Amino acid sequence: MTTKNLFNQIKAKQSFLCVGLDVDQDYFPVKIKDSPDNIFNFSKSIIDTTAKYCVGYKINIAFFEAYGIEGWNSLEKVMDYLNNYYPEIFTIADAKRADIGNTSKRYAKAYFDHFDFDSITVAPYMGADSVEPFLTYKDKHTILLALTSNKGAADFQLLHSGNDMLYERVIKTSLAWQNSNQLMFVVGATKAEALITIRKLIPEHFLLIPGIGAQGGSLEEVAKNGLNHQCGLLVNSSRAIIYASKEMDYAEKAGLAAKKIQEKMKELLIQNHII
């Protein structure tokens, strides 16, 4: 998917919402916990009630691989379903992969060729040759971890490297890599104030912003500091949407939660003259 396609979806749906599929059987309604194919059926129900309000799905790979072959089979079915019935929606493999070059090539093949994701999250610690294999895929995107929401982010990301903080050095260095126009960057919603600096470094790149909702990030602050002239944001919400209810109305409540966020996003897009 091209960024132009993504911009068009944002305008059409008046939304820059990404729904995170952190599918955990421990949070399923009791009646479906032991039902056949429950991982796929839960995911499908969430997708069907939220798709009209979002432009992306961030599929947390750990929540599928934790269930072994059952989880991997469910992941295949979820991706087949999305690509066949909602091909306009941007898909993210939240896998945080990257290794030496030949290994990264296989990760890229798995998620871009086999599962047909539009993008994948990647850790930058091993540098250019661990990331560039992902960037060789035309119209696929590599989402580089820059500044994350978790407490431990301060252990490394906020260390100084010359006149920069390390996360700033990561961003600046990555722009010199092959096909860097296909990069997107992860910036946690709880670090909204840093978006001012980050937007000066990468005014045109898309940012994936996790951390609103259950993690306490402010959508308004993220929009204030992170929107560019074409939006340029994908704001993710996971638990606050998919576990809005633990009863059998979970899918309906997920749709309502997504709609509530989309309505706020529409207001912000109008206020900033993007739609």
Residue 242, φ and ψ in degrees, nearest 5: -75, -20
One of 96, 224, 253, 259 is an active-site residue; which one? 96
Exposure of 222 in the CB half-sphere (CA atoms within 13 A): 29
Q: What token pair was written down for 255?
A: 């749709």
Q: How far apart (Å, rounded) are the C-alpha atoms in residues 81 and 205?
A: 28
For residue 231, is it left (φ>0), alpha (ψ between -120 and 50) or beta?
left
Strand ranges in the chain using DSSP code E only, listed in sequence order: 17-21, 56-60, 90-97, 119-122, 141-147, 160-161, 164-165, 183-187, 207-209, 233-237
Any catalytic annotation for residue 96? yes
Q: Which residues contact 2 (CB under 8 A, 6 or more apart)?
A: 139
**Which of 208, 181, 125 has the alpha carbon at shortest distance from 198?**
208
Give catalytic residues, as residue numbers.
Answer: 96
